[in-house]
Amino acid sequence: MATFLCFLCFLLIFTFTPLSHSQPERFTRPLGGARQEYFEVSYPPPSHEPTPSCTHRILHHSFAHTIDSPPYTTPYAPPTRCPAPWSRVVLDFHARCKGEQYDRIAAIWLAGVELLRTSTAEPTAAGIFWNVRKDVTKYSSLFLKPDLDLTMMLENIVNRDFTGIYHVTVTLLFYNQYYVNAPVRVPFVPCPEALNLNPIESKSRSRSLIQEPGFSGVTESPADLIIPISDDGRRGFWFKVEEEKRSCSRKIRIPRNTYRAVLELYVSFHGNDEFWYSNPPNSYITANGLDTERGNGAYREVYVTIDGRIVGSEVPFPVIFSGGINPLFWEPMVAIGAFNLPSYDIDLTPFLGKILDGKDHVFGIGVVKGISYWLVNANLHLWLDHDSTVVHANPVVHYSPETSIERQEEFRGLDGAFDVDAEKETQITGWVITSAGNITTTVSQGFSFKNFIKFQRKGSLKTVKQKFKAKKKVKVIDGRGESITRLKVRRRYPLRVVTNTQQFQDGTYRVVTDVSHSVKEKYVSGCFVKSINNVQNSKGWMEVKGHSVLSGQASTTQNYSYVDRVICYSRNVAAANGIIVTDNSTFVCEL
């Protein structure tokens, strides 16, 4: 009898271990819901896209049970109806899906160079569809080439439980008009006088100016050559990083007449690191005997190395996929970045002196504190000096200390609080002797990161607050010390997630969540100025069994604004239980 009783109490304790330590989680939404269009709020809105000179369908494929298979590959050739030069190229990604399915991660590569990292929305029984548009003008040098392989990876599972097949069509939109004389030597477009408008004029001209060059936000001409820093492609071109120790690398050789290099980093986080910003330290998990593997604390940094030495790093924007936290929040507008994950530019020009020797160099990517798993790869954009075969370069100043990271933890049982503070400031200067003279590039950047996690009420109430601020300046001067270009970028992305979990005897549980997520970004490049302010707030509850949401209620509001020298755009959207209740947008500048 005594043994039986003890077994019972063990069972009780076991069943009531709060789940909140592993919140947030990944779920599938209930099957109900109308056939509708999903979207990610961004600029320009689809209704404001000018008509392209030609459209070129490059991929059309259905992704059913694709897990453990190689990616889908199809040949690419440039459009015959509107040959280069192009003023702008836009990638249009269209997907539709019907049935029950998880969110999936996907990417598209051309000759191993990544064009888009995207994730899918979770479908309904009636079916959903969506479009993603991305300016891909910066990859123009690739779009010119015939006989390339276009590859798309979307690992999906189709079986008795999961029936959703993703049908994908990718089209490139090419624009020939408004082609300005391409700057041949220095890849920076000087400020056109015409853009020097006063705000009153800009207000009335905002719509008509939308097709002007520079509208795309690209003020420099596309690179001459793009080299992928990626895996071999058998399982997609991304490297799968499963632990901190494993840095992934590729040996490459760059042309000796390269005078500018920018590495574009693509990252996404999955499995035990999908919600890395909410992972408690391992000490908390071990002390409480929890069975979650979502640990290692709440700090991650993705870094890039050349020949084993760190040359740049980024704290990634915390993208929430459509099954994340509460899937009812992300319908029909998905979380910020979910359809078009950000990539991160790291200016490597000051390091050219180390890699212009015509020899192979090893480029590596790794994740500080990363656990399984991260999908990372990069595109190395190179600008070549066509009037010389070899340029000379040297670093001058290099100030790049380690990231300073401070951690604090305090807990008793399942309640406690954890802090991580990190910051870094670097400055790197290097010069390049080109056929246009001595060009010196200085890259100064810094960031500060704060993460706070608190567990209360025996771990059932979890609060995550994260702040991230970054600034970057790139200054390029000529041999006389005169400024050729200046780039300034400021970013902030705060995130707050409060989760209250209540567990029931029948194994189901109820989660009440409040999420507030935003991006503020200001970008100044010469005379081109743009700022984006994107805020998304969600709240609601759901009743869950295993990983399936049985029922719930959710509402999300989003305020988006885009402002540059000629355009002001804002859109406020609110959705409740999957239905849009407000959707207002304007092109009026609020002075």
Ligand X SMILES: *[C@@H]1O[C@H](CO)[C@@H](O)[C@H](O)[C@H]1NC(C)=O
| Residues forming the site for ligand X (CB under 6 A) | 396, 431, 433, 438, 440, 535-537, 557-559, 572, 582-584
- Our CB check for ligand X shows the closer of 38 and 560 to be 560
Report the residue count for the chain: 591
- Does residue 24 have a cis bond before it (omega within 30 degrees)? yes
Smallest gap from Cβ 480 to ligand X, in A, equals 10
Minimum Å distance from CB 434 to ligand X?
A: 11
Q: Are 536 and 518 in contact (CB under 8 A)?
A: yes
Output 209 or 515, the one with its CB closest to ligand X: 515
- Rg value, the chain, Cα: 25
CB of 555 to ligand X, least distance (A): 11
Which residue lies nearer to ligand X by CB, 286 or 582?
Answer: 582
Least CB distance from residue 561 to ligand X, whole Å?
Answer: 10
Provide, rounded to whole angstroms, the least separation between the CB of residue 478 and ligand X.
9
In sequence order, the 6+-apart residues with CB closer than 8 A to the CB of 7 are none
Question: Do 298 and 420 touch, CB atoms closer than 8 A?
Answer: yes
Q: What is the nearest approach in angstroms of ligand X to the Cβ of residue 117?
A: 25
Chain centroid to CA 114: how far? 12
Q: Which is nearer to ligand X, 246 or 520 (CB)?
A: 520
**Do residues 376 and 395 make contact, with C-beta atoms less than 8 angstroms apart?**
no
Give the ranges where 307-426 is alpha helix by DSSP (H). Answer: 352-355
The nearest distance, CB 46 to ligand X, in angstroms, is 16
Residues 6 or more apart from 354 whose CB is under 8 A from it?
Answer: 306, 307, 361, 395
Contact 549, 327 (CB under 8 A): yes
**Rounded to whole angstroms, what are the CA distances from 14 to 8, 31, 334, 357?**
10, 31, 36, 62
**Segment (H or E) for 366:** strand 361-368
Residue whose CB is less far from ligand X, 132 or 484: 484
Position 312: which residue type?
A: G
**Residue keyed to tokens 């970013």:** 491
CB of 475 to ligand X, least distance (A): 11
**Is the CB of residue 318 less than 8 Å from the CB of residue 518?**
no
Cβ distance to ligand X smaller for residue 232 or 583: 583
CB of 45 to ligand X, least distance (A): 13
Nearer to ligand X, 110 or 495 (CB): 495
Smaller CB separation from ligand X, 118 or 440: 440
- CA-based angle 157:162:166, to the nearest 5? 60
Closer CB to ligand X, 176 or 557, in the complex? 557
DSSP state of 529: E
Least CB distance to ligand X at residue 427 (A): 14
Alpha carbon 87 to chain centroid distance?
Answer: 25
Q: Residue 317, SS3? A: coil
Whose CA is closest to 294, among 304, 306, 281, 305? Answer: 281
In angstroms, the CA 124 to CA 127 distance is 5
Q: Alpha-carbon dihedral of residues 22, 28, 29, 34, nearest 10 degrees?
A: 160
Q: Looking at beta carbons only, is 69 or 584 nearer to ligand X?
A: 584
